[in-house]
Chains A and B, each alone.
Chain A
Amino acid sequence: MGAGHAHRLYRHGHSPVHGLPPHTKLAAAFAFVVVVVSTPREAMWAFGVYALLLAAVAYAARVPPGFLLKRLLIEVPFVAFAVLMPFVAEGERVDVLGLSLSVNGLWGAWNVLAKGTLGVAASVILASTTELRELLLGLQRLKLPPLLVQIASFMIRYGDVIADEMRRMRIARESRGFEARGVRHWGVLAKSAGALFIRSYERGERVHLAMVSRGYAGSMPVIDEVTADRAQWSYALALPCAALVVCLLGWTL
């Protein structure tokens, strides 16, 4: 997490995808995932086309395939779940290599895997081509409630500061010979968590004081704004529009 290292997930670059205004990218990624989720699972070819579309975007963004694949690992718990679906789902069954599998479950597994993977890949490409600060500006531009954007921006600004405090507390514990090994040490860890909460809350109060001292009265002054012209919008929306065509074909074919 964190603005500190310009967030680990972000890959610095100057590709056309990096250069797009953040709100167009957010909108495009979201629309793309919506289209993917609405595609009938029987249209297997459609998911192949989606994957190719994403691969093209990744190529344009110069996101290396290895990086993308590694980040897809976040999905693993669900893959495991999907693998089990054919065994447990209801409905007619089919024998594959001596195992009795549910047809419905097989479809379900495919559905979750295909859609989930495409969703994760879209998010990964978004996060690796957009800086945190830009993401926040984008969310603000997309009319997320300003208060929510402010909360998110404070969370990101101070995520590192608090993680650092947590690390220092751990070092302080370990320097005094304490190492949490099991349930009986939870008390100590919980005390640390409690202390961390107090510190975080008090820092929140101090930040608020600093803001109020400079005339904050509930809304952030607008200092920067992102804008997109028609060309940038159409460039960004090319992805979901292409996907939409595929989706419609998937329904009709």
Chain B
Amino acid sequence: MTDPVTDPVTGPEAAPVTGAPASLDVSGLAFAYPDGHQALFGVDFSVARGERVALLGPNGAGKTTLVLHLNGILTGGTGTVTVAGLPVDKRNMAEIRRRVGIVFQDPDDQLFMPTVREDVAFGPAAAGVKGAELEARVDRALALVGMAEFKDRPPHHLSFGQRRRVAVATVLAMEPEILVLDEPSSNLDPASRRELADILRSLDVTVLMVTHDLPYALELCPRALILSDGVIAADGPTAELLSDDALMRAHRLELPFGFDPRSVATGG
């Protein structure tokens, strides 16, 4: 993780750390739900170590389905997923789940324990971390998201933005290889949104961010993928994709009124 991720305009070609296996490699992934609805039709992409990549796409494009394949929660389709060289299959499941940290969209789903501390401790404790080391991990993760003083509060007494930050901490406590965020900015007020962006930028970890929030993607991720109708329709520097009007229209992606990616792109 020595990659200079601090440079926001680093392109996909420049980012990979040579020698290290890609953090994430997905090839030929197809999947249908038991009710017959097919969500993925052959997805291929790769994320190098230290990259921050946005996964964009309209509603129903299969984004969430794809995310659930990354740590082997959904399997049974065709194609392969590897995380830092380790294929996602039954044998490696425990290790894969430690390496891939998913922050789900609804923090209420993620925070299922009675107190913040127990929730953050859940992942490392399940992996066998105990005692002082466990406490240290919890403190470290909470400090990273600025929630240290809320340690003993029940999650439902926190604001939505705070719950989202604790949700990020629950995953960081597991010291993952790659952080996968599902709609991290949804339902956040502008201040919470900015605070979360600052936190994400400060982390030294590979990030895959699934979002509809195009300015947020541009702000945080140098590279973007567009998932549309269950396949990767485009892959390139975020600013370029967002500036391609025809591409954007074809995949039902719209920038907020008055937002011009060309004017902010170089500023990151």
Within the complex, are A and B direct neighbours (CB within 8 Å)? Answer: yes
Cβ A206 vs Cβ B114 within 8 A:
no
Instruction: Rank and list the top 8 A-B pairs by shortest CB-CB distance, nearest first.
Output: A221-B125, A214-B123, A215-B126, A206-B109, A210-B110, A133-B114, A213-B102, A221-B126
A190 within 8 A of B: no
Known: A206-B104, A206-B106, A221-B125. A215 touches B112 (CB 8 A): no
Select from chain B the residue with minimum beta-carbon distance to A203. B109
Q: Say if the beta carbon of A60 comes within 8 Å of chain B.
A: no
**Interface residues in A190-222 (C-beta closer than 8 Å to B):** 203, 206-207, 209-217, 221-222
Stretch of A77-85, A111-119, A152-160 at the chain-chain interface? A152-160
Interface residues on A, range: 20 to 34
**CA A213 to CA B100, docked complex, whole Å:** 8
Residues of A within 8 A of B106 (CB): 206
Contacts A4-B156, A153-B114, A223-B125 given; indicate if A215 touches B73 (C-beta within 8 A).
no
Tell me, yes or no, whether A161 is within 8 Å of chain B by CB.
Answer: yes
> With A206-B106, A223-B125 as given contacts, are A213 and B71 in contact (CB-CB < 8 Å)?
yes
B29 at the interface (CB under 8 A from A): no
The smallest beta-carbon distance between A38 and chain B, in angstroms, is 36
Partner of A217, one of B68, B73, B126: B126
From B104, B109, B125, B171, residue with most partner A Cβ within 10 Å: B109
Q: Is A3 an interface residue (CB 8 A)?
A: yes
Q: What residue of chain A has the Cβ atom nearest to residue B127's Cβ? A: A215
Interface: A224 (CB within 8 A): yes
Chain B residues positioned under 8 Å from A212 (CB to CB): 73, 97
Q: Are A215 and B94 in contact (CB under 8 A)?
A: yes
Interface of A is mostly: helix
Chain B residue at minimal CB-CB distance from A137: B114
Interface of B is mostly: helix
User: Could you say which residues of chain A place their CB within 8 Å of the CB of B115?
Assistant: 133
12 CB contacts below 8 A, A to B, read A3-B114, A133-B114, A206-B104, A207-B112, A210-B110, A214-B97, A215-B174, A216-B126, A221-B121, A221-B122, A221-B126, A223-B117
Per the 8 Å Cβ criterion, residues 205-237 of B in contact with A are none
Chain A: minimal CB distance from B197 (Å) = 23
Which A residues fall within an 8 A CB radius of B?
3-4, 132-133, 136, 153-154, 157, 160-161, 203, 206-207, 209-217, 221-224
Given A207-B109, A223-B117, 16 other A-B contacts at CB below 8 A? A153-B114, A160-B156, A161-B156, A203-B109, A206-B106, A209-B68, A211-B112, A213-B71, A213-B73, A213-B101, A213-B104, A214-B122, A215-B174, A221-B122, A222-B125, A223-B121
**Are B126 and A214 within 8 A (Cβ)?**
yes
B170 CB contacts on chain A under 8 angstroms: 214
**B103-148 contacts to A (CB < 8 Å):** 104, 106, 108-110, 112-115, 117-118, 121-123, 125-127, 134
Chain B residues in 8 Å Cβ range of A224? 118
The residue in chain A whose Cβ has the minimal distance to the Cβ of B115 is A133
* Residues of chain A lying within 8 A (CB to CB) of residue B109: 203, 206-207, 209-210
Which chain B residues lie closer than 8 Å to A153 at the CB level?
Answer: 114
B163 part of interface (Cβ distance < 8 Å)? no
Highest count of chain B CB atoms <10 Å: which of A154, A206, A211, A223: A223
Which one of B98, B110, B118 lies within 8 Å of A223 (CB-CB)? B118
